[in-house]
Structure 1
Amino acid sequence: MPESRAAFTERGSTKKCAFCAIVAGEASAREVYRDDDFVAFLDAHPVFPGHVLMVPVVHVQTYDELPLDLAAEWVRLSQALVRAVESATDADGSLLIVNNVVSQSVPHLHLHVIPRSKGDGLRFWLGPRHPYASDEDADAVASRIRAALA
């Protein structure tokens, strides 16, 4: 059954932001990193111990709103967090997730860094899959995306 529209926060939401409260020091979190641009902290409802969220200090709701002047540091810090989380939890790897509106329970851009180990029981997959009805349908979608990028 598809997720209802009420189950996620719409773009441009004015819903009070729990992550802005953490950034401002008005709400507590188990921080693992903080600088002028980003804060990273343990997820309050972790998939596995060591599950970290990374947020920009500036309030933006979605990935496409992240200011480009922060993008390089976003990548650098996320890579460092991946290495730190995997090392600290003795994980085999990690799962990185950014939800954009759908399944985004807090309307503030955040990266999940979730430690993973072989046989950990997490049954994460991208499915169900919805293949194109034909090569022509796939070509039409690719064309619309190319046009939107232009």
Structure 2
Amino acid sequence: MDQNVVYESDNIFAKILRGELPCHKVFEDDVALAFLDIMPRAKGHTLVIPKTPARGLLDMPKAAIGPFIERVQTVSRAVMKGMEAEGLTLQQFNETAGGQVVFHLHFHVMPRWEGIRLRPHTGELEQQDLLHGYAKKIRAAF
């Protein structure tokens, strides 16, 4: 990791953590926050972010990785159960060359069903009422 690359606290996920921007929350504790992606590639596409400021996986403090990954697993189970999914796709990107767009560590948890492909990332916003319904199903699965 380039030592000159630093965490910038004005990223959109940091603003969501501080309550400056709204989200469709499905889980929160002292370690992580999980909420629905507003431009989902699958119904119930959820993002899990640490409360520890970290640009990516490579600069997350080692002591914080284990507890955070435990939350990713917990949220993944609830997403799968709540969305009645047959499988999951997890994605995590690091730096621009790796496909990262928001520079706060995050995992994409995407429920999957046989024969249904992931939607392309179009930048199109999902309808709020659909997101609300998905969030309700996932929260009920914890």
TM class, shorter-chain normalised? 0.7 to 0.9
Q: Cα distance, 1:13 vs. partner?
A: 6.3
**Letter aligned with residue 118 of structure 2:** L
Partners of 2:7 and 2:70 lie apart in 1 by 28
Partners of 2:7 and 2:54 lie apart in 1 by 10
- 1:29 corresponds to which of 9, 18, 23: 23
The alignment partner of 2:81 has SS state of helix
- 2:43 corresponds to which of 28, 43, 49: 49
**Letter aligned with residue 80 of structure 1:** T
Q: Which runs of 5+ in 2 are unaligned?
A: 121-142
Q: Cα distance, 1:123 vs. partner?
A: 8.0
Supply the RMSD in Å over aligned alpha carbons: 2.0
Percent identical pairs in the alignment equals 32
Q: Which runs of 5+ in 1 are unaligned?
A: 1-9, 125-150
| TM-score after normalising by structure 2 | 0.74
Q: Cα distance, 1:28 vs. partner?
A: 0.3
- 2:94 corresponds to which of 91, 97, 100: 100
Partners of 2:57 and 2:25 lie apart in 1 by 22
The alignment partner of 1:85 has SS state of helix
- 1:19 corresponds to which of 1, 7, 13: 13
Q: In the TM superposition, what whole-angstrom CA distance separates every residue of 1:83-117 from its partner, at most 9, and x where no partner exists?
A: 11111111111000100013211110000000011
Larger radius of gyration: 1
Corresponding pairs, count:
115
Q: Cα distance, 1:71 vs. partner?
A: 1.6
